[in-house]
């Protein structure tokens, strides 16, 4: 009799997260929990200025403080050829500044001391003489004639342009616009935000002179990429580098790049031959590590009177800060921005993108978004609403009319992506039904008569999750596949390792469920381990919602390899030929005599104790998985709001989320991902931004200025699902980790804009703080850009 | 958190604490709830040489109401004690409205009302509440005790009237002469954020007339603002739509907000005006309900 898959914690089981056993007991093992014998502590001195020449650095007072072991400056790094390091986007970044500082918070010097207090005091004792330079804080200033040149360190860099890039069909798009009845336009800014994991970045470098081996415990979402980068920067051979990423307190993309602190701690450990711990403080994390977004987008849509979209044109000016250290696939300079409008059937599209250097922190990481798709989908859904309004069409009907239809898959988007599956109209219908669309429209009209402002916002999108395939996706030339290694012990228990790295996603729980699904081994019998480059198979790590699409597929594939070998063992045990053996969950049996069977555990035992002649002993294998395509989940998010016309405060009335991420491995974890994503979406729409004043001072360097939403103001979410299995993924799953963060913000913003419909206000840039909404409503004009930092009335 | 080096003292009596402050010569700081001081030490904006932790001094955590309605709040009475107090709910509607919106629940568990008054942050809620109520701060120093009206206690941003060797040991809300009413409204971007603007209104009524009124404004000036003209305009008359609108206009005029990332100056004035109207309209409703 076949096993009950739910009972063994297989696919579809809302199995409790096994990692929570240690987390809720305070027994997690984070980098800062690790204490090595003889360990020293490193602190970083950061630049107070956004752009300044370094005239001199006097470290004598720091050296004089008892307990100080080493003071490092850019000059010292330069003497070891380590003052600059390569970024993940083929640029260079200063490890410690030599010539000048290029953003507030940049690393200028490091102190290594017996404890962190001494190191901090010694940092304050370092005297740096700066000569301030003119500051560039946004792309417009960066492009202005005569703008200060930020990257004068680079040969042949004569302006602040990082890249000019384009994609799509320019001529075809022009033709589409020539045929348009209506052209709808929109311009907006997606503000700079920060992934802001609760655990900041940090490392413990431990160089052992006796073995020449460097071990680094590090907060990284991609240990193998880091190993490759460290090998390059530190000129150490790869087999002498071990990167260990222990429990991570969140990542959200922030822990993908290589940071100067990691490199400095490594050099310090090599020089001092002692372990060196560096734990960034919260301010350091917020002002210097990979941010998200900060893109100015404008575009237009060619429309036929009947509502058909004929073409789309987009342009982006993106602010990359002082160093281009985004973590995007090499080929795509502005990430997957051109995934915009993928769920709509649009004949022609063209995108131009310009990246700019500014005097701001570097590292446009994909904050819970698959390489800039957050900006793409936000623009898409704001544009779609504006177009529907311009045409005087119902926003839901306009979407339905232009959706790629179920029977049209596979569908090639105007920008060249291949989408393969989905039921877009069905998802929209489920959402409209759940929110009570028609009733709400009536309520809204009635409320309006009494001076109350109600609004409804829709956001529908499909996004490309799970890079690669290796044809198109690489980081620093390393192709974006992933891996899994499964070792089944004699008892039928197992250990699974993958090249991914959980930072809260629950891999220890869900990977075991995939193995349970494929092999019938109860999930509780499977240990999952990740993050140690000495033991894990090579993989590209966890970000861009790629774990389930890529590493998760590898888990299924390695399980199938194990099953294939187990079949041979079963045939041997049952004394029949392999062709006569049938499989049901957890058990092989003789086709002609179903009662005669052996369990997977019997096979595991035989692999070590009773293998047939000629069969290699053991039951272990590894699978590398290079996906044929990205996965394309679909989501429909709908929010209703009420705006207070006297204060501009808007309250969320209801939120409905319909997600189609294909087959769900652990529905509870999927729902958790969606709720977390919607919370972040609400935060970005309503309160979050990191801005800079004219001098380049960062506003948003702590949690009083950079607001994280709490349970108090976050609205409730009603979740629904539609399941369209991914046609090419071994278990039919699609990515889900980022959908709600990506698609959510437009639902909230569209809802507020809908409430203000008829006032002439076309756009309010995020965050929709009450004062901005009030100002738009009362002055009847758009509110653009970041909130002002300080202006006198 | 890596503050600068400091000495930590934990006195067991007020006299001992005062002696330590005196000995500190202006470089010592009192630690009560620590919800403002500790973050400032973390940022090294504050670098006291000595911390005088008063948490081990017995008998300072009281919240009492005298027979005549006078309220006494001890130096170690936490925001959460006030929030949960049925005494406040029964006796003091303005305080009862403010207590649940102070910072966030975690801060409320540690922070104290008296500490908040001493911190004198223009965005602190309790200062405007105590101003509206005509409250008093009792200070004790080497030469004994003195009472300082809340309206005078705040000298400027982050500056209070205490001498370096004085401790604020309690706050007092005087007994009402009429039926107390009022409220506190605050606009914040998120729970726990500093106020974009906040308004405290306290009125006392007798036989349908307002006999005492106070209005304090949070976050709309260099320090907490006592909107006396607005409050005085209400006294001696019943509350009407007209008198409410007039007081709201006067309160908005009294505000001295600056434009910043929480909103423009004119927006903050609009919020002050709207909140005065909303609180006083609520007062009218509750008076009507009672009648």
Buried b (16+ CB within 10 A) or exposed e, A696-734: bbbbbbbbebbbebeeebbbebebebbebebebbbbbbb
CA closest to B105 among chain A residues: A712
**CATH 3.90.1170.50 segments of chain A:** 34-133+200-248+255-288
- Reading chain B (291 residues) residue by residue, the pLDDT tens digits are 899 999 999 999 999 999 999 999 999 999 999 999 999 999 899 999 999 999 999 999 999 999 999 999 999 999 999 999 998 988 899 999 999 999 999 999 999 999 999 999 999 999 999 999 999 999 999 999 999 999 999 988 999 999 999 999 999 999 999 999 999 999 999 999 999 999 999 999 999 999 999 999 999 999 999 999 999 999 999 999 999 999 999 999 999 999 988 999 999 999 999 999 999 999 999 988 887
Residue A789: what pLDDT?
Answer: 62
Strands of A173-308, DSSP E:
182-190, 202-208, 213-218, 241-244, 276-279, 295-303
Q: Which two tokens mark B254?
A: 């009294």
CA distance A9 to chain B (A): 37
Strands of B75-173, DSSP E:
136-141, 144-149, 154-156, 159-160, 167-173
- Residue A368 appears among annotated catalytic residues: yes
Q: Specify the CATH number for the domain of residue B144.
A: 3.30.465.10
Does B46 share its domain with B105? Answer: no
What CATH topology corresponds to A20-26+482-625? Aldehyde Oxidoreductase; domain 4 (3.30.365)
Per the CB < 8 A criterion, the answer to whether A598 and A583 are in contact is: no
Per the CB < 8 A criterion, the answer to whether A316 and A337 are in contact is: yes
Tell me which chain B residues have a C-beta less than 8 angstroms from the C-beta of A709.
Answer: 190
Is residue B234 included in any domain, yes or no? yes
Per the CB < 8 A criterion, the answer to whether A203 and A219 are in contact is: yes
Does B258 share its domain with B278? Answer: yes
Per the CB < 8 A criterion, the answer to whether A255 and A221 are in contact is: yes
What is the complex's ipTM, to 2 decimals?
0.95
**Contact criterion met (CB < 8 Å) for A713 and B262:** no
- Residue A738 appears among annotated catalytic residues: yes
Q: Are strands A718-721 and A650-660 parallel, antiparallel or unpaired?
A: parallel
By the 10 Å C-beta count (0-12 exposed, 13-18 middle, 19+ buried), A449 is classed as exposed
Tell me which chain B residues have a C-beta less than 8 angstroms from the C-beta of A43.
Answer: 2
- Residue A445 appears among annotated catalytic residues: no
Task: Give the containing element (helix H, strand E) for A55.
Answer: strand A52-58
CB atoms within 10 A of CB B22: 16
> CA A488, A215, A256 angle in degrees (round to 5)?
80
Tell me which chain B residues have a C-beta less than 8 angstroms from the C-beta of A775.
Answer: 264, 267
Nearest-angstrom CA–CA distance, A256 and A371? 12
Q: How would you write A253-285 as a 3-class SS string?
A: CCCCCCCHHHHHHHHHHHHHCCCEEEECCHHHH
Is residue B58 included in any domain, yes or no? no
A530-562 pLDDT tens trace: 999 999 999 999 999 999 999 999 999 999 999
The sign of the CA dihedral A54, A267, A205, A537 is: positive
- Residue A221 appears among annotated catalytic residues: yes
Task: Tell me which residue in B260, B267, B271 faces A775 most closely, judged by beta carbons.
Answer: B267
Q: From its phi and psi, is residue A400 left (phi > 0), alpha (psi between -120 and 50) or beta?
A: alpha
Per the CB < 8 A criterion, the answer to whether A190 and A295 are in contact is: yes
What does the mean pLDDT of chain A come to?
Answer: 96
Does B71 share its domain with B164? Answer: yes
Q: Specify the CATH number for the domain of residue B257.
A: 3.30.390.50
A343-394 pLDDT tens trace: 999 999 999 999 999 999 998 888 998 899 999 999 999 999 999 999 999 9
Tell me which chain A residues have a C-beta less than 8 angstroms from the C-beta of B186.
Answer: none
Q: Is A371-466+629-779 a CATH 3.40.30.10 domain?
A: no
Asked if A791 is an interface residue toward chain B (Cβ–Cβ < 8 A), one would say yes
**CATH 3.30.365.10 segments of chain A:** 20-26+482-625, 371-466+629-779
Does B283 share its domain with B248? Answer: yes
Alpha helices in B149-225 (DSSP H): 150-153
Per the CB < 8 A criterion, the answer to whether A45 and A104 are in contact is: no
CA closest to B271 among chain A residues: A647
The sign of the CA dihedral A387, A391, A397, A403 is: negative
List the domain range (segments joined by +) for residue B11: 7-52
Tell me which chain A residues have a C-beta less than 8 angstroms from the C-beta of B36.
Answer: none
Q: Specify the CATH number for the domain of residue B37.
A: 3.30.43.10
Q: Which two tokens mark A5?
A: 């898959």
With a CB cutoff of 8 Å and minimum separation 6, the contacts of A631 are: A464, A465, A466, A549, A662, A726, A729, A733, A734, A735
Band of residue A338 on the pLDDT scale cut at 50, 70, 90: very high
Is residue B1 included in any domain, yes or no? no
Does B187 share its domain with B161? Answer: no
Is residue B57 included in any domain, yes or no? no
A736-749 pLDDT tens trace: 999 999 999 999 99
A450-480 pLDDT tens trace: 999 999 999 999 999 998 899 999 988 889 9
Is residue B2 included in any domain, yes or no? no
Local structure of residue A407 (DSSP, 8 states):
G
Q: Which two tokens mark A150?
A: 């930020």
Nearest-angstrom CA–CA distance, A198 and A32? 13
Per the CB < 8 A criterion, the answer to whether A638 and A428 are in contact is: no
Nearest-angstrom CA–CA distance, A729 and A663? 10
Residue B284: what pLDDT?
Answer: 96
Least confident segment among A2-11, A182-191, A230-239, A300-309: A230-239
Does B161 share its domain with B75? Answer: yes
What CATH topology corresponds to A34-133+200-248+255-288? Aldehyde Oxidoreductase; domain 3 (3.90.1170)
Per the CB < 8 A criterion, the answer to whether B251 and B280 are in contact is: no
User: In the predicted model, is pLDDT for residue A1 greater than 80?
Assistant: no
CA distance A741 to chain B (A): 19
Contact pairs from chain A to chain B, CB under 8 Å? 78
Distances, alpha carbon B215 to alpha carbons A82, A196, B70, in Å:
61, 39, 19
Alpha helices in A610-666 (DSSP H): none
Q: What is the mean pLDDT of residues A480-495?
A: 97
Q: Mutate which of A647, A650, A707, A715 to test chain B, going by most B C-beta atoms within 10 A?
A: A647
Does B121 share its domain with B157? Answer: yes
CA closest to A120 among chain B residues: B2
What percentage of residues in chain A have a pLDDT greater than 70?
99
Residue B186: what pLDDT?
Answer: 98
Residue A330: what pLDDT?
Answer: 87
**Contact criterion met (CB < 8 Å) for A707 and B190:** yes
Residue in the block written with tokens 């979050």 = A688
CB atoms within 10 A of CB B43: 14
Does B183 share its domain with B259? Answer: yes
Does B151 share its domain with B202? Answer: no
| Count of domains forming chain B | 3
User: In the predicted model, is pLDDT for residue A435 greater than 60?
Assistant: yes
Angle, in degrees to the nearest 10, between helices A373-391 and A395-402: 110
- The residue out of B138, B173, B208 marking a domain boundary is B173
């Amino acid at each position: 009799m076949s096993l009950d898959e739910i009972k063994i914690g297989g696919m579809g089981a809302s199995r409790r997260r096994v990692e929570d056993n240690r987390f809720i007991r305070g027994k997690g093992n984070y980098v800062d929990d690790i204490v090595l014998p003889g360990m020293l502590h490193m602190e970083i001195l950061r630049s107070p200025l956004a752009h300044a020449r370094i005239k001199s650095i006097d470290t004598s007072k720091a050296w004089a403080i008892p307990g100080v072991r080493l003071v490092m400056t850019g000059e010292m790094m330069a003497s070891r050829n380590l003052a600059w390091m390569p970024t993940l986007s083929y640029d260079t970044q200063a490890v410690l500044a030599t010539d000048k500082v290029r953003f507030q918070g940049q690393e200028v010097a490091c102190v290594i001391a017996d404890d962190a207090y001494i190191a901090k005091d010694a940092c304050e004792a370092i005297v740096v003489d700066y000569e301030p330079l003119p500051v560039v804080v946004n792309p417009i200033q960066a492009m202005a004639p005569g703008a200060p040149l930020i990257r004068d360190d680079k040969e042949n860099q004569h302006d602040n342009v990082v890249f000019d890039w384009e994609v799509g069909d320019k001529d075809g798009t022009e033709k589409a616009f020539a045929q348009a009845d209506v052209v709808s336009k929109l311009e907006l800014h997606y503000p700079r935000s920060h992934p802001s994991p609760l655990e900041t970045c940090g490392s413990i470098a431990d160089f052992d002179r006796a073995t020449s081996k460097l071990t680094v415990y590090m907060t990284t979402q991609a240990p193998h990429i880091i190993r490759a980068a460290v090998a390059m920067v530190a000129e150490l051979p790869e087999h002498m580098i071990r990167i260990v990423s222990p429990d991570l307190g969140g990542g959200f993309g922030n822990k993908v790049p290589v940071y100067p602190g990691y490199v400095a701690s490594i050099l310090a450990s090599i020089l001092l031959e002692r372990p060196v711990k560096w734990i960034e403080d919260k301010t350091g994390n917020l002002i210097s590590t990979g941010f998200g977004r900060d893109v100015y987008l404008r575009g237009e849509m060619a429309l036929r009177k009947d509502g058909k979209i004929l073409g789309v044109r987009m342009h982006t000016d993106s602010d990359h800060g002082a160093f281009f250290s985004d973590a995007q696939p090499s080929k795509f300079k502005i990430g997957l921005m051109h995934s915009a409008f993928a769920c709509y059937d649009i004949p022609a599209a063209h995108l131009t993108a310009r990246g700019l250097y500014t005097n701001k922190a570097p590292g446009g990481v994909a904050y819970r978004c698959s390489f800039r798709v957050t900006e793409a989908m936000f623009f898409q859904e704001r544009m779609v609403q504006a177009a529907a309004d311009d045409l005087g069409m119902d926003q839901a009907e306009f979407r339905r009319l232009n959706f790629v239809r179920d029977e049209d898959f596979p569908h090639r988007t105007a920008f060249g992506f291949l989408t393969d599956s989905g039921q877009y109209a069905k998802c929209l219908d489920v959402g409209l039904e759940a929110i009570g669309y028609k009733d709400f429209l009536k309520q809204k009209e009635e409320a309006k008569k009494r001076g109350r402002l109600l609004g409804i916002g829709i956001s529908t999108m499909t996004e490309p999750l799970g890079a690669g395939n290796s044809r198109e996706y690489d980081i620093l030339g390393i192709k974006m596949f992933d891996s899994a290694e499964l070792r089944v012990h004699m008892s039928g228990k197992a250990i699974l390792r993958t090249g991914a790295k959980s930072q809260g996603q629950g891999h220890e729980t869900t990977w075991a469920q995939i193995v349970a699904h494929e092999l019938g081994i109860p999930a509780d019998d499977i240990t999952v381990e990740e993050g140690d480059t000495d033991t894990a198979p090579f993989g590209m790590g966890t970000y861009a919602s790629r774990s389930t699409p890529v590493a998760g597929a590898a888990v299924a594939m390695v399980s199938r390899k194990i099953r294939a070998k187990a079949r041979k063992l079963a045939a041997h045990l049952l004394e029949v030929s392999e062709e006569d053996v049938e499989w049901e969950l957890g058990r092989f049996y003789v086709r002609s005599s179903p009662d005669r069977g052996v369990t997977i555990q019997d096979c595991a035992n035989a692999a070590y104790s009773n293998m047939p002649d000629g069969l290699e002993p053991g039951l272990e294998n590894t699978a590398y998985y290079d996906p044929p395509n990205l996965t394309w989940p679909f989501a429909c998010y709908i929010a209703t709001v009420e705006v207070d016309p006297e204060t501009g405060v808007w309250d969320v009335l209801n939120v409905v989320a319909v997600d189609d991420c294909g087959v769900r491995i652990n529905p509870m974890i999927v729902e958790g991902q969606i709720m977390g994503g919607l919370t972040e979406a609400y935060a970005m729409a309503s309160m979050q931004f990191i801005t800079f004043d004219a001098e380049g001072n960062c506003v948003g360097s702590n949690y009083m200025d950079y607001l994280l939403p709490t349970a108090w103001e976050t609205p409730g979410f009603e979740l629904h699902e539609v399941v369209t299995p991914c046609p090419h993924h071994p278990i039919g799953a699609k990515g889900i980790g980022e959908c709600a963060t990506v698609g959510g913000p437009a639902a909230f913003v569209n809802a507020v804009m809908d409430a203000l419909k008829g006032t002439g206000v076309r756009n309010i840039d995020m965050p929709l703080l009450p004062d901005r909404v009030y100002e738009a409503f009362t002055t009847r004009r758009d509110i653009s850009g970041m909130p002002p930092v300080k202006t006198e009335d | 958190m890596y503050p600068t080096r400091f000495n930590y003292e934990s006195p067991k009596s007020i006299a001992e604490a005062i002696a330590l402050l005196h000995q500190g010569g202006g470089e010592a700081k009192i630690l009560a709830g620590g919800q403002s001081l500790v973050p400032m030490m973390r940022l090294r904006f504050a670098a006291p040489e000595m911390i005088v932790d008063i948490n081990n001094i017995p008998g300072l955590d009281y919240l009492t109401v005298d027979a005549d309605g006078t309220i006494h709040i001890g130096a170690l009475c936490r925001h959460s004690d006030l929030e949960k107090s049925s005494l406040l709910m029964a006796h003091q509607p303005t305080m009862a409205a403010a207590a649940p919106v102070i910072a966030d629940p975690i801060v409320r568990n540690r922070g104290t009302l008296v500490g908040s008054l001493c911190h004198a942050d223009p965005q602190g809620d309790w200062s405007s509440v105590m101003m509206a109520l005509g409250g008093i701060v009792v200070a004790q120093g080497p030469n004994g005790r003195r009472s300082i009206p809340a309206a005078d206690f705040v000298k400027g941003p982050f500056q209070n009237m205490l001498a370096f060797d004085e401790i604020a040991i309690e706050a007092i809300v005087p007994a009402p002469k009429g039926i107390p009413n009022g409220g506190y409204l605050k606009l914040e971007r998120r729970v726990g954020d500093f106020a974009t603007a906040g308004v405290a209104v306290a009125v006392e009524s007798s036989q349908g007339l307002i006999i005492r009124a106070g209005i304090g404004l949070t976050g709309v000036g260099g320090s907490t603002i006592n909107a006396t003209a607005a409050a005085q305009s209400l006294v001696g008359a019943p509350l009407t739509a007209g008198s409410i609108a007039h007081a709201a206009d006067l309160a908005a005029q009294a505000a001295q907000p600056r434009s910043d990332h929480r909103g423009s100056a004119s927006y903050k004035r609009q919020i002050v005006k709207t909140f005065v109207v909303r609180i006083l309209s609520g007062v009218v409703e509750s008076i009507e309900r009672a009648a």
